[in-house]
């Protein structure tokens, strides 16, 4: 851990790293073979051996590691981690005081200065997600910081990596008093059941908080709502709480039904008055067209990439077709909530997908509102890919 590796940056990439770009790319480094031990600290330097920045080695997606500081003498030690996490927590002070919401992100990777690490707060429980073996080396330091700063019930972790370069969807209790799951958290006054001990997904995606609130407050009352790729039905709950006449939740995963029933139940909603369907969303679109079903509000929040026995879905290629299917079964003056978490394209391209779909179905629309990541999901202006969430709410005219 004490030996520092000197990495030379290709001349064409020097300006990018001097300007604060945080992700270490393989093609940016001349001597990447010098990187051997996960978690080791490196110095980036130009061809004249001028210092650029300091970071750690840890493979994550397309990167080899993350830049941590542009100060040569700054040590990556307990003091460094405490400063970063303490600063992040202070930015979320308003969340800690919010009586209607007790589930939020307190540390968001490179947006808060340490790529590969996120920390979420769920009603007194901390959940740490490690995205590479490199950042996992610093586990003891992060736990010590939370011990010093955080008044918590327990800490859980998700190790979202493997030595083969794929996510290892594993979780573990770290310390404190084990939770009795589900833990019921509050979000804008609504309740959600979460499991920090049951695989990579806990039951709710915190980054969609503002979108759920918009659905509840502005778009659901008196409406028939279709929630596709519904997971545990969090959007359906928001719609039902907001006064929807009926919600239909569709997801291919078998456990989505019991999970959705649970989310309705913890909000005191009679799930038997809602439709919960375990089936392929694309098959459901065909079924709805055959039965001439129409909806006032359609929610589209597919995974970036998904594979079933029948088909493969990629948001980057297939979103326009998905949108066309949604338009077909949306009532006139109905609303579509179009969402993607795909980081490979930006909002402009995403809105292009929506426009293409309306043109191909010979329909008109207007944009009602747009959302990206909420405030607790801090991002870095030097790394726009980190602001991955794109939500456009449109009205079909």
Packing angle between helix 139-149 and helix 78-91, nearest 10 degrees?
50
**Displacement of CA 347 from its chain's centroid (Å):** 16
Q: Counting beta carbons within 10 angstroms of the beta carbon of residue 278, is it exposed (0 to 12), middle (13 to 18) or buried (19 or more)?
A: middle
Is the CB of residue 316 less than 8 Å from the CB of residue 342? yes
Q: Which of 73, 76, 15 is nearest to 41 (CA)?
A: 76
12-65 pLDDT per residue, tens? 999 999 999 999 999 999 999 999 999 999 999 999 999 999 999 999 988 999
Q: Which two tokens stand for residue 94?
A: 């308003």
225-245 pLDDT per residue, tens? 999 999 999 999 999 999 999
How far is 251 from 309, CA to CA, in rounded Å?
14
Sheet (strand 330-340) strand order: 275-278, 246-251, 224-228, 295-300, 330-340, 390-396, 365-371
Is the CB of residue 249 less than 8 Å from the CB of residue 230? yes
Structure confidence at residue 165 (pLDDT): 46
Three-state SS at 349: helix
Structure confidence at residue 164 (pLDDT): 55
Counting residues of the chain whose pLDDT is more than 90, the rounded percentage is 90
55-108 pLDDT per residue, tens? 999 999 889 999 999 999 999 999 999 999 999 999 999 999 999 999 999 999
Domain extents in the chain: 5-69, 78-186, 205-396
First-last CA distance in the chain? 61
110-136 pLDDT per residue, tens? 999 999 999 999 999 999 999 999 999
Architecture of domain 78-186: 2-Layer Sandwich (3.30)
More confident residue, 306 or 88: 88
5-69 and 205-396 in the same fold? no
Average pLDDT, the chain: 95
Is the CB of residue 384 less than 8 Å from the CB of residue 341? no
Counting residues of the chain whose pLDDT is more than 70, the rounded percentage is 97
Domain 205-396: give its CATH superfamily. Answer: Vaccinia Virus protein VP39 (3.40.50.150)
Q: What's the whole-number mean pLDDT along residues 351-380?
A: 98
Structure confidence at residue 171 (pLDDT): 58
Q: Which of 276, 280, 337, 343 is nearest to 306 (CA)?
A: 280
* Choice among 221-235, 296-310, 382-396 with the minimum mean pLDDT: 296-310
What is the dotted CATH code of the domain comprising 5-69? 2.30.130.10
Structure confidence at residue 309 (pLDDT): 73
φ, ψ dihedrals at 361, nearest 5° = -95, 5
How far is 102 from 124, CA to CA, in rounded Å?
8
Q: Which residues contact 186 (CB under 8 A, 6 or more apart)?
A: 100, 101, 102, 103, 123, 192
pLDDT confidence of 179, banded at 50, 70, 90? Answer: very high
Structure confidence at residue 359 (pLDDT): 98
φ, ψ dihedrals at 327, nearest 5° = -60, -40
**Displacement of CA 53 from its chain's centroid (Å):** 28
User: Does 163 score more than 90 pLDDT?
Assistant: no
Count the residues in the chain: 397
Q: What's the pTM value of the predicted model, to 2 decimals? A: 0.95
């Amino acid at each position: 851990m004490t030996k520092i590796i000197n990495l030379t940056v290709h001349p064409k990439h020097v300006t990018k790293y001097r300007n604060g770009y945080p992700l270490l790319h393989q093609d940016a480094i001349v001597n990447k073979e010098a990187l051997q031990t996960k978690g080791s600290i490196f110095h980036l330097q130009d061809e004249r051996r001028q210092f650029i920045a300091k970071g750690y080695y840890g493979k994550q997606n397309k990167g080899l590691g993350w830049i941590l500081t542009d100060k040569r003498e700054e040590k990556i030690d307990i003091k460094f981690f405490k400063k970063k996490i303490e600063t992040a927590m202070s930015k979320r002070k308003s969340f800690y005081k919010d009586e209607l919401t007790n589930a939020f992100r307190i540390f968001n990777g490179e947006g808060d200065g340490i790529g590969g690490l996120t920390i979420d707060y769920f009603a007194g429980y901390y959940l740490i997600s490690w995205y590479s073996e490199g950042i996992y080396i610093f586990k003891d330091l992060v736990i010590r910081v939370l011990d010093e700063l955080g008044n918590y019930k327990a800490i859980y972790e998700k190790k979202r990596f493997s030595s083969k370069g794929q996510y290892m969807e594993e979780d573990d209790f770290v310390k404190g008093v084990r939770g009795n799951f589900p833990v019921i958290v509050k979000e804008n006054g609504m309740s959600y059941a979460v499991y920090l001990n049951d695989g990579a997904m806990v039951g709710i995606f915190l980054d969609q908080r503002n979108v759920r609130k918009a659905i509840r407050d502005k778009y659901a009352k008196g409406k028939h709502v279709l929630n596709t790729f519904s997971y545990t039905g969090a959007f359906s709950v928001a719609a039902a709480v907001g006064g929807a006449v009926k919600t239909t939740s569709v997801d291919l995963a078998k456990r989505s039904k019991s999970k959705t029933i649970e989310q309705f139940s913890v909000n005191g909603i009679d799930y038997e008055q809602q439709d919960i369907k375990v089936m392929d969303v694309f098959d459901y679109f065909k079924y709805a067209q055959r039965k001439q079903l129409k909806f006032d509000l359609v929610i589209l929040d597919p995974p970036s990439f998904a594979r079933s026995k029948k088909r493969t879905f990629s948001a980057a290629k297939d979103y326009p077709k998905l949108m066309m299917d949604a338009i077909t079964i949306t009532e006139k003056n109905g609303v579509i909530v179009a969402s993607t978490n795909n980081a490979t394209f930006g909002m402009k391209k995403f809105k292009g997908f929506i426009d293409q779909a309306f043109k191909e179905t010979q329909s008109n629309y207007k944009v009602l509102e747009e959302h990206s990541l909420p405030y607790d999901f801090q991002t870095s202006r030097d790394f726009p890919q980190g602001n991955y969430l794109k939500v456009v709410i449109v009205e079909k005219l």
